[in-house]
Chain A
């Protein structure tokens, strides 16, 4: 069935690295996404990874995918106060009609 799980809260100090983790259940997932939501706003796509990749790096963001364990992580290097937001993991797969299935979101709090 459809299930994407994330831890609910992460607190880090400014300048440290943040690692947000996600597990998913559908092994046929084609794309996995990370979205960011700032307070009172909609979601914006941060990055995504295709299921045949292990890693993707984009400036301060690194996405790691472990297909065997169905585990996805987002690492933010040199975390800034502007990174404080809710981060959503999402998957899309043929089994779900290619609709996105979202996790509950991880609240990232960056302390200065």
Chain B
């Protein structure tokens, strides 16, 4: 079955550590996205990528980094520079950037201790 797989589902980290969240899709989609979800604030776009080896900052990119070395993979690194990293992170993909349906993963919940 085609879909998006995020891992890990739950992650704990100490302050000052970098962590990487995995996102893999087998939908053959060109575009991939990372969103952050906080209660009462909806989804905020962190980074997005339209094509391999290219990505763009979203609305809240500070303290995050991404790479897009393969079409099916778009990992997100939460660095120690991110002031408030505890959140629910959602990865999504779509056929292209020109609107259309986003397909979401199940999410990764990061808690900083």
Contacts and interface: CB of A to CB of B under 8 A. Distances in A.
Interface residues of B, number: 23
Interface stretch (A12-20, A57-65, A71-79, A97-105): A97-105
Interface stretch (B11-19, B66-74, B103-111): B103-111
Given A100-B99, A102-B35, 13 more contacts: A40-B109, A41-B106, A42-B90, A42-B92, A43-B90, A43-B102, A44-B104, A88-B43, A98-B97, A98-B99, A102-B43, A103-B42, A104-B40
A61 to B, nearest CB: 15
A12 to B, nearest CB: 20
Contact of B42 (A31, A92, A104): A104
Contacts, number: 51
B48 interface: yes
Interface in B70-113: 90, 92, 97-102, 104-107, 109
B53 interface: no
